[in-house]
């Protein structure tokens, strides 16, 4: 199944505001749909920098960087934009776009550990080469902290009951569990 970029034209048109040059950032490259359209609208003097941590996104981005010298991929979180741009000597940009959240390719691939529709390892890392997997994190987190996270981010009123059940279950290895 191919990924369809959401609000593709609207995002790029709004970002450019009738400009054809400048320095732009795609904070969440993903599969590159927005970046490719952006590059198609820009002249040869423009630059586009993209950030991502997902290994599959980085592969797609590396191929695009080979095709288009105006494009550079940076293997980092968008939280590091300021630091990374300063490192490469970019002091200001003309626009930044970000598509926050989990992408449909991440949900479609059970092995990424995000999907609740297909059974897969309980991973849930954007960059699966770094950090704890979700199953490892669940073993370490305190029940109260887990309940607070479920309540705050999931807006779940039964967060304490859910956290207790998760902790009592012990090691969870798959998304189906």
Model pLDDT for residues 43-59, shown as the tens digit of each residue: 999 999 999 998 889 99
List the structure tokens of 110. 């059970």
Q: Does some domain include residue 2?
A: no
CA 176/CA 120 separation, integer angstroms: 7
Name the band, by pLDDT with cuts 50, 70 and 90, for residue 3. low
Name the band, by pLDDT with cuts 50, 70 and 90, for residue 1. very low
Same domain, 95 and 114: no
Q: Does some domain include residue 25?
A: yes
Same domain, 12 and 99: yes
Domain boundary among 57, 75, 104: 104
Kindly tell me if the per-residue pLDDT of 75 is higher than 50: yes
3-state secondary structure 82-151: HHHHHHCCCCCCCEEECCCCCCHHHHHCHHHCCCCCCCCECCCCCCCCCCCCHHHHHHHCCHHHHHHHHH
> What pLDDT does 118 receive?
84
Closest CA to 64 of 39, 96, 90, 101: 39
Number of residues assigned to the chain: 177
Same domain, 66 and 136: no
Residues contacting 173, CB < 8 A, separation 6+: 121, 122, 135
Could you tell me if 35 and 15 are in contact, meaning their C-beta atoms sit under 8 angstroms apart? no
Q: What is the share, in percent, of the chain residues with pLDDT greater than 70?
A: 94
Q: Is 40 exposed, middle or buried (0-12, 13-18, 19+ CB in 10 A)?
A: exposed
CA 97 to chain centre: 12
Name the band, by pLDDT with cuts 50, 70 and 90, for residue 129. confident
Kindly tell me if the per-residue pLDDT of 143 is higher than 90: yes
Closest CA to 112 of 130, 132, 129, 128: 128
> Considering only 18-22, 80-84, 96-100, 109-113, which range has the smallest mean pLDDT?
109-113
List the structure tokens of 103. 């992408």
Domain boundary among 72, 104, 136: 104
């Amino acid at each position: 199944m191919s990924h369809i970029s959401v609000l593709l034209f609207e995002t790029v048109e709004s970002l450019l505001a009738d400009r054809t040059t400048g320095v732009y950032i795609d904070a969440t490259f993903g599969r590159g749909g927005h970046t490719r359209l952006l590059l198609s609208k820009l002249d040869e003097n423009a630059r586009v920098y993209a950030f991502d941590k997902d290994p599959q996104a980085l592969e797609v981005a590396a191929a695009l960087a080979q095709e288009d010298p105006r494009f550079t991929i940076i293997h980092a979180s968008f939280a590091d934009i300021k630091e990374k741009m300063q490192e490469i000597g970019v002091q200001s940009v003309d626009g930044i776009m970000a598509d926050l959240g989990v992408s449909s390719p991440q949900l479609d691939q059970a092995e990424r550990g995000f999907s609740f529709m297909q059974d897969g390892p309980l991973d849930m890392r954007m960059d699966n080469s770094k950090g704890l997997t979700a199953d490892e994190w669940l073993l370490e987190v305190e029940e109260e902290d887990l309940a607070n996270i479920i309540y705050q981010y999931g807006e779940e009123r039964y967060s304490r009951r859910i956290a207790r059940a998760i902790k009592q279950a012990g090691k969870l290895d798959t998304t189906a569990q």
